[in-house]
Structure 1
């Protein structure tokens, strides 16, 4: 359900709030993510491709646990990865139209829901030249990461509404599933995807190609 790069997706219903994933959705951090996970995979004798695929849209701790390194403490390993990510922000840029869209939204009507930790989220948003949101749900705020809907449900409550009244922007299958399970309308952003991406929801290249209104 993707649209051509020149198409504009017009959403007919108004929304109470807008919820954004961060990596791949508000900003393109592919170069950093690939560098860090490639190094981690190599250091543990793991193939990079499945590690990278597993990491997309998920919390670091969940990715580390998925590969069950013998004799390694998953929480310690996750902290190592997060430290590497915090130290490396080279090449991070905002998705086209993201800054302009955020600037038009009242601060109490939007939030970021990310699988990254808070420190990393602030670091990457700053590197991309995007504002730090008043409302943000990070890895520390949930007991279950995406594709579980907990983060989106919490963000909606934080904004004083319900998830079914929220528009969610995502780029990963895990996040899309989380938004849908929360009951939100989900739009996939494809600008940071290096290959074709057929999501189970409408998709647009970036924020210059979608129009919607707040209720």
Structure 2
């Protein structure tokens, strides 16, 4: 499969880096400290931390609860690693990319540094939008900052909420994993190749699902 885009918009956790264990440890520790039933964390994968905190704590504790989670998440980084094909993909597309993540900016910086992922100039985090994934706002904002049409972008995601966000913004979607509702699905980014020519990004996929 060969497709052309103006830019590639990458999710972070589960797409470019694996922070699964660190995320789980951080939320379980947070829940214990805040007196929250850990069962309330079920089904929250891919959602912004501020939304999770808001759903589990009373309004007067939202600010302190989010600050506490951010502190835990930026200090527990054991096991955070870059995923197969991520460095090659982000390097290949050059400046024609953005990272669109539900993490806060400080957590994003900590995890990308821990994984050894180079800094991406255009970055949209939970701090930059009022309505996060699955709303289209994060991907629309990334396309706007890159000065491209979101309908000419590829959104790369590993969760249903992230793919819904990219789709709602008008992007073509590339799902990382299995059993995902996306235009194309691959196990990881090592199964695709990106090339840039004439200011356009070409996607070459070895495995596809349409």
Structure 2 length as normaliser, TM-score?
0.87
Task: State how far apart, in whole Å, the 2-side matches of 1:135 and 1:24 are.
Answer: 19
Aligned residues: 196
Task: State how far apart, in whole Å, the 2-side matches of 1:182 and 1:171 are.
Answer: 16
**Secondary structure of the corresponding residue to residue 131 of structure 1:** coil
Any conservation in 1 of the 2:46–2:102 contact (CA below 8 Å)? yes
Task: State how far apart, in whole Å, the 2-side matches of 1:94 and 1:66 are.
Answer: 30
**Secondary structure of the corresponding residue to residue 169 of structure 1:** strand
Any conservation in 2 of the 1:34–1:52 contact (CA below 8 Å)? no
Any conservation in 2 of the 1:118–1:139 contact (CA below 8 Å)? yes
Of residues 14, 35, 43, the one that matches 2:33 is 43
Are residues 82 and 47 of structure 1, via their aligned partners in 2, closer, same or farther at CA, if it must alter by over 3 Å? same
Per-residue CA deviation, residues 124-175 of structure 1 (Å, 9 max, x unaligned), is 1111111010110111111111111101001001111011100111011111
1:117 aligns with 2:104: yes
Gaps of 5+ in 2: 196-200, 203-210
1:25 aligns with 2:15: yes
Question: Which residue number in structure 2 is paired with residue 103 of structure 1?
Answer: 91
Compare relative contact order (CA 8 Å, sep 6+) and give the higher one, 1 or 2. 1
Task: State how far apart, in whole Å, the 1-side matches of 2:144 and 2:116 are.
Answer: 27
Aligned-residue CA RMSD (Å): 1.6
1:199 aligns with 2:180: yes
Are residues 70 and 152 of structure 1, via their aligned partners in 2, closer, same or farther at CA, if it must alter by over 3 Å? closer
Of residues 57, 74, 84, the one that matches 2:46 is 57
Structure 1 length as normaliser, TM-score?
0.86
Per-residue CA deviation, residues 38-71 of structure 1 (Å, 9 max, x unaligned), is 11223344332441421x111111001112x347
Per-residue CA deviation, residues 12-51 of structure 1 (Å, 9 max, x unaligned), is 3200000001011110000111001111223344332441
1:158 aligns with 2:145: yes
